[in-house]
Amino acid sequence: QQPVQSPQAVILREGEDAVINCSSSKALYSVHWYRQKHGEAPVFLMILLKGGEQKGHEKISASFNEKKQQSSLYLTASQLSYSGTYFCGTESGRDDKIIFGKGTRLHILP
């Protein structure tokens, strides 16, 4: 079942923060976050595993609330290069297929 992402789109000025949410109606084993630029393939950002993880990658971090079956991606002090479409992908079990949400389009203005 496809996870639900919110918001669908967001426009920010450079330096502002953003939060992208991903929720599932099924129990989750892991959540994967990717960013895709127009015309390119998705690029892996991070994976969060069952157990309720929180991870950081420069100014991009994410949390995974296993009980709520939700994950959030946090973008702080956004840069122009952060623009793109962010997808969360969820797995219900180890080595299961990843099902992607519809994506959140992020546009950063100078």
Kindly tell me which residue out of 17, 37, 44, 57 binds another protein, with binding defined by CB under 8 A: 44
The contacts of residue 56 (CB under 8 Å, 6+ apart) are none
- How many C-beta atoms lie closer than 10 Å to residue 75's C-beta? 23
Q: For the chain, what is the radius of gyration of the CA atoms? A: 13
Task: Fill in the per-residue mask, 11 to 30: x = in contact with another protein (CB under 8 A), - = not in contact.
Answer: -------------------x
For the chain, the distance separating the N- and C-terminal CA atoms, rounded to the nearest angstrom, is: 37
109 contacts another protein (rule: CB under 8 A): no
Q: Minimum distance from CB of 15 to another protein (Å)?
A: 27
Q: How many residues sit close enough to another protein to count as binding (CB under 8 A)?
A: 22
The two three-digit tokens of residue 74, written as one number: 């946090």
- Name the residues that contact another protein, by CB under 8 A: 2, 30, 32, 34, 40-44, 47, 49, 87, 89, 94-95, 97-103
